Amino acid sequence: MKIKKLELFKVPPRWLFLKITTDNGTTGWGEPVVEGRADTVKAAVEEMKSYLIGKDARHIEDIWQTLYRGGFYRGGPVLMSAIAGIDQALWDIKGKALGVPVYELLGGAVRDTMKIYGWIGGDKPSQVVEGAVKRMDDGFLAVKMNACPEMEWIDTPKKIEEAVAVIASVREAIGYDKGLGIDFHGRVHKGMAKAFMRELDFLKPMFIEEPVLSENFEAFSTLAQYTSAPVATGERLFSRWDFKRLFEQGAVDIIQPDVSHAGGITEVKKIAAMAEAYDVALAPHCPLGPVSFAAALHIDFSCINAFIQESSIGIHYNEGYDLLDYLSNPEIFTIKDGSIVRPVLPGLGVEINEEKVRAMSEMGHDWKNPIWRNTDGSITEW
C-alpha cells in the first residue's frame, strides 16, 4: 500500500481535487483548496510529494505529523489546506482497503442521519424569501444567509434596520420551526456587531456566525452578552492550537472548522473532541465540493457534538457546476426531512466521475472572491 502517484485537478467553479494512487491500485480522493488560492495550495501539495511517494498510505497519523512538523514552519490556510486534502485521500484509501466507511475507523457512528442546512443568496427580501422557500421544497429544514451587504466600521442605524428587515422576511416565510443561521461573514466590526446582534434576537437565530473576524477572538466575550443566540465561528481557524484560544475564552457555542482547511479528517476529529470537553457544538464549514462534503459528514457521523452540517448543494454562486455534477453516485447526498442518511460505502463513499473531472480540469478556473469598497472608496470585507 505504498503511495505511487499524486494527481491534481483544478475544476470549476473554484475547487481543487487530489487523487492519490497506491502501488496496488487503490485510489483515494481529497480536496485541498483555499477558495481564490487554488494554485497556491496546488503548489504546496506538489512540494509535499517528496514526503509521500513510497510511504505506506495506511500510516495516516505518521504522515500527518510529518507534513505538519517536518517543514519547520507550520499552520495557516495554505499549508493546512494542502495537508487536509492529502489526509482526506489517505482516509479514503484506508477505508476502501479495509472495506468500511471512514467513520467506522473513527470509532463508529453515533447517529443514523445528519441534519443539513443550505445557503440562500441575495440581499433583497424578494430574493431571499424565494431562495428560502425553494430550499424548503428541496428537503431542507434549515438555511443560512448573509446578515448584510458591506458595512463600514461604524455605520448607520438605517443600515441595520434594512438588514434586519431582509432577515425577518425569511423568518416569516419559513416559520420558527425551521433553522435560520445568520452569517455576519466578518463584515461587521465590533462597534456595529453589538447593536446588530441585539436587533436580531427576536428572530431566534439558529446561530450567529462570525459576528467579527476570528482573529478578534478577544471580542467574543463582549459580543456574547448582546444575544441569546448561539455564537459560531471557526472557518478561518486551521488547527487545534488556533481553536484552543476560543475554548479557553468560553464565549463561543459552536465551532465550524473546515475539513478542507483545518488539517483534514485527522485534525478536525481532534478539534471536535476538544470542543466536546468544553461543551461546544460542532457544525463543520463546507462551501466546497463533494469530497470535502463527504469528509465532513464522516466527522459528523462519528462526533456526538456535531449538530448540523453546511452543504454547498445548489449554492447560489456555484450555478452550472454543482458538487453533484462530479459524482457517479449523487444519490448518497439525497436530502430528506432535512437530513442525509449515513453512508455505507467504503472509504469516503463518493464515487468521483473521473472522466468528468479530467474534462473539466482542462477548463480549470481562476476564481477570486469579490473586492468590495465602501462609498468613500475604502476597502471593506466581503
Residue 369 buriedness (CB in 10 A; 0-12 / 13-18 / 19+): exposed
Spatial neighbors of 81 by CB under 8 A, at least 6 apart, are 32, 33, 34, 41, 44, 238, 260, 261
Helices (H) and strands (E) in the chain, counts: 13, 14
Q: What distance in Å separates the CA atoms of residue 52 and residue 66, rounded to the nearest whole number?
A: 10
Q: What distance in Å separates the CA atoms of residue 91 and residue 295, rounded to the nearest whole number?
A: 9
Angstrom distances, CA of residue 87 to CA of 147, 202, 222, 281, 357: 33, 42, 37, 23, 20
For 81, the grid coordinates are 489546506
Long-range Cβ pairs for the range 270-278 (8 Å, 24+): 270/240, 271/239, 271/240, 271/243, 272/299, 272/303, 272/305, 272/306, 273/303, 274/240, 274/243, 274/244, 274/247, 275/243, 275/247, 275/305, 276/303, 276/304, 276/305, 277/247, 278/247, 278/250
Single-letter amino acid, residue 53: I
Per the residue annotation, which of 189, 261, 285, 298 is the catalytic one? 285
Helix (H) or strand (E) holding 194: helix 190-200
Angular region, 11: left φ>0, alpha ψ -120 to 50, beta rest: beta
Q: Is 285 a catalytic residue?
A: yes
Instruction: Decide: helix, strand or coil at residue 378.
Output: coil
Three-state SS annotation for 29-67? EECCCCCCCHHHHHHHHHHCHHHHCCCECCCHHHHHHHH
Per the residue annotation, which of 59, 185, 189, 298 is the catalytic one? 185
DSSP state of 98: H
Single-letter amino acid, residue 214: S
Spatial neighbors of 276 by CB under 8 A, at least 6 apart, are 303, 304, 305
Active site residues: 185, 285
